[in-house]
Chains A and B, each alone.
Chain A
């Protein structure tokens, strides 16, 4: 009987919190907030916060056209794989100190799982056979090569800070460490790494000024140029969830342990639902602030970079910042 209950619990985790429903709703809201605030900064009224949701629902009703040069199964499967792998990522990241399955993957695994959605988009775009998509995937791949170097250095510095002389890549342990010693960002040596991570997030999500791969005005959304209807909606949904995943990752790496003191004793079947609710809400609020900081503001004031400038920027400035952190942590400042 207990195993049956466990299965139910796991399904609830996967489907509702922090899985499918929470990730999707949170991602769509973040994307909507982003659009609304940019509009306000540009003195427009802007779309309603729920506009990404409406867009998705509208796209579901549209016809799906598969170009005749496309490889149909791959073309249609790619958006699903990308979206689902992002939702599963959400399960592996601790949300407000609550770990659904987070003992099952460490930072390096997360680093590699993060590439799956990008690869899904690249393979899907490639399978469409469009020359615009060809240019788009080339740029997407170069972007990926650009941010992967600083990202691994950021992860290494966090791991070194938390692990000390023993190794520690586990996100759960990083959260536990922060509950004891306060958030990672409070140690001075980690501030450059945090800034670097904040600069990596927009490139990972594909936000201006790092949206060279999708560049609507230039190469017609690159990999997505041939997508229409429901698969396009899936990709848009995936981008929204990716915002949430990346900001959640930042939260659990640098701002963990903030909500650990909160206890509301409301239980359903032995699960602290009240705690989860409050922590989930606070977590979402923090993610919204980060989105605002690293995506909305930068988006509002910058224009798109060229791909070679993007690559240079990440391998010099951002990698430099994260390297400073790593060296500082290594020599024990």
Chain B
């Protein structure tokens, strides 16, 4: 079967679906749901068919639109090109799109104008998929623009509150600043190299960096930074993730900011190949460390469920950027792994937040409480997600964070640079703070006592639980069998990040890479992560647990007597309340971690000024940061 057409069919199919939904599906919900599910399933199926050729056979899929192949070594038409790196992000994208589509059906049914919602949703999906498939840098920019505008419109979709419009406005302004940087960078590159094809750009720019192309690099790096919401461009993300419908928040954190990360990797590793310069590595790692730290500390101060998750999203992207910035083989593997894991657990957590919002109508941590008795299945899914993101073994977040620590330490001892030790300590502290803030959510939302207003809460319908279960299973599976994921997905993706000769040759003809002096480096087959055996740990755990249970069962004589919880009237089963008659007293989200917050008061005051909520400040920060990056890259690269 000729599968080279599949990427373009998937992308175009999603865009076509957007129009079909608007034309045929704006009145009838069955037609609408059928179109959306059919299109997303087809797109996912077609793209997943490419897993075998790309990952197992090691092929690179290329496709010239309208069969406009390069003429005399110059790429004219738009080319789609999917190597293992692109394919890795494609998998994340189609998985998230499909799950979000399934989740939306029930979650959004109470809203009006759903035709618009699905149109924008499919536009967003198609643009992200197009962005990771394309081999043309201007096409990438077009996809970024579609993505940004669909995302902005979706942020304001539930526009009953002014805050949602404000969030969309912030996203729009800061997003456009980012797009502007990217476009300026692309224009400069086109001026310099007379081509827009990334493979050709890579071959021209190799060992050939001029002041103009360095300026382009700095501008585009900042532009993609804005799209992936790293600090200091993160402020609109918190508002946007909070305001958008939760199915869209999941897409935002799962793939929209990953698209920015993908752009950065493509730019730094493939097009410009500047990552082997240690100052650039330090710059990227610094961005990552600052992002993860500010993200998590801001999350500790939040009392809205979705806003808290949004700040964690920023923080976890910090991990990914840090790991990628290390630029060792282990580093890139762990960064990509964390990107995938982040898509899984953060998507899961957003879906749980959506379930809570759907059932109770609020996401305020100070108004919720005791939902674990009303929504037990959501609670289990949430706990899996929370343990994963906090990096408890044997869940997936632990596996990737552990790899990141190993890579950072490795980098520190090979370069002798103490900065990486600092980054490692930061990463560990951020991880425990992540745990703290999810303990806060667990206590505030799921455990504790139920407020009177939430007595009638019910579990969410099956169609909403299905994506949550799939995500949970993947979280556990990726954690326990991390070697399987590592060998089959991450290693090929990492190889194609470092060895780009075949990426160039496939597009521009054999020998192009060699002619411009790009050579492959040797990649060791093993990743060097041998000291964690989740399976053995799990087997031991279950064995000991079984033994304890058996001893317990043998030892107990009063098996039937205990554990009665029914008699609510009986004071014996009320919670202890200093000897008084117990009344409703729930320790809510804002009440926790007083000792910590008090010690960090000065820091939080500074952060409060930093997050002014004023879009002028945020744009100014973006521009200033861009200026700094330009100055830094000029000093380092020229």
Contacts and interface: CB of A to CB of B under 8 A. Distances in A.
Given A67-B575, A307-B595, A312-B599, A144 B432 contact: yes
Contacts, number: 231
B449 A69 contact: yes
Contact of B402 (A109, A116, A126, A229): A109
Given A66-B563, A104-B536, A131 B575 contact: yes
Given A101-B536, A167-B406, A310-B595, A111 B428 contact: yes
Given A74-B372, A142-B593, A226 B443 contact: no
Interface of B: 370, 372-373, 376, 379, 383, 387, 390-393, 398, 402, 405-406, 409-410, 413-414, 418, 421, 424-425, 428-429, 432-433, 435-436, 439, 442-443, 446-450, 531-533, 536-537, 540-541, 543-545, 547-549, 552, 555-556, 558, 561-568, 572-577, 585-587, 591-596, 598-599
B523 to A, nearest CB: 19
Nearest to A83: B548
A74 B382 CA distance: 13
A112 interface: yes
Contacts of A65: 562, 572-573
Given A20-B544, A106-B531, A126-B447, 9 more contacts: A80-B545, A104-B533, A109-B393, A112-B391, A130-B575, A142-B594, A152-B429, A229-B562, A310-B595
Given A106-B532, A230-B552, A159 B409 contact: yes
A66 B570 CA distance: 12
A226 B576 CA distance: 7
A253 B533 CA distance: 21
A62 to B, nearest CB: 9
Contacts of A11: 543
Contacts of B532: 104-106, 109
Given A11-B543, A60-B555, A167-B413, A72 B537 contact: no
9 contacts: A68-B565, A109-B402, A109-B531, A112-B398, A112-B402, A142-B593, A142-B595, A308-B598, A310-B595
A299 interface: no
A139 interface: yes
Interface of A: 11, 14-15, 19-20, 60, 63-72, 74, 76, 80-81, 83-85, 87-88, 91-92, 101, 103-106, 108-109, 111-113, 115-116, 119, 122-123, 126-135, 137-139, 141-142, 144-145, 148-149, 152-153, 156, 159-160, 163, 165-167, 169-170, 212, 220, 225-226, 229-230, 306-308, 310-312, 315, 326, 330
Contacts of B425: 149, 152-153, 156
A112 B427 CA distance: 13
A74 B387 CA distance: 14
A147 B424 CA distance: 16
B545 A119 contact: no
A20 B545 CA distance: 10
Contacts of A63: 558, 561-562
Given A64-B563, A104-B537, A226-B576, A14 B544 contact: yes
Given A101-B540, A109-B531, A141 B436 contact: yes
A128 B393 contact: no
A152 B426 CA distance: 10
B548 A84 contact: yes
Nearest to A15: B547
B595 A152 contact: no
Main secondary structure of the interface of B (DSSP, over half): helix
Given A66-B563, A115-B432, A311-B595, A138 B545 contact: no
B448 A126 contact: yes
Contact of A307 (B429, B540, B561, B594): B594
Contacts of A330: 418, 421
Nearest to B568: A68
Contacts of B393: 109, 112-113, 116
- Most B CB contacts (10 A, CB to CB) among A92, A153, A311 go to A311
Contacts of B537: 88, 92, 104-105, 113
Contacts of A310: 595
Given A108-B405, A129-B449, A230-B556, A167 B410 contact: yes
B585 A123 contact: no
A129 B448 contact: yes
A226 B573 CA distance: 10
Nearest to A21: B547
Interface centre among B379, B392, B439, B447 (most CB of A within 10 A): B447
Contact of B531 (A123, A169, A229): A169
Nearest to B596: A142
A80 B414 CA distance: 42
Nearest to B424: A156
B481 to A, nearest CB: 15
A168 B577 CA distance: 50
Contacts of B577: 131
Contact of A149 (B418, B429, B575): B429
B576 A84 contact: no
Contacts of B447: 71, 74, 123, 126-129
Given A104-B536, A141-B436, A170 B531 contact: yes
Contacts of A129: 370, 447-449, 575
A119 B435 contact: yes
A134 B413 CA distance: 42
Contact of A135 (B432, B446, B587): B587
A265 B556 CA distance: 41
Nearest to A11: B543
B572 A131 contact: no
Given A14-B540, A104-B536, A142-B596, A126 B439 contact: yes
Chain A CB count within 10 A is highest, among B533, B556, B576, B591, for B576
A74 B383 CA distance: 11
Contact of B541 (A64, A84, A152): A84
Given A109-B531, A148-B432, A134 B370 contact: no
A116 B547 contact: no
A252 to B, nearest CB: 15
A105 to B, nearest CB: 6
B536 A148 contact: no
A137 B439 contact: yes
A232 to B, nearest CB: 12
A219 B271 CA distance: 60
A149 to B, nearest CB: 5
A50 to B, nearest CB: 18
B576 A115 contact: no
A139 B421 contact: no
Contacts of A212: 595
Nearest to B600: A311
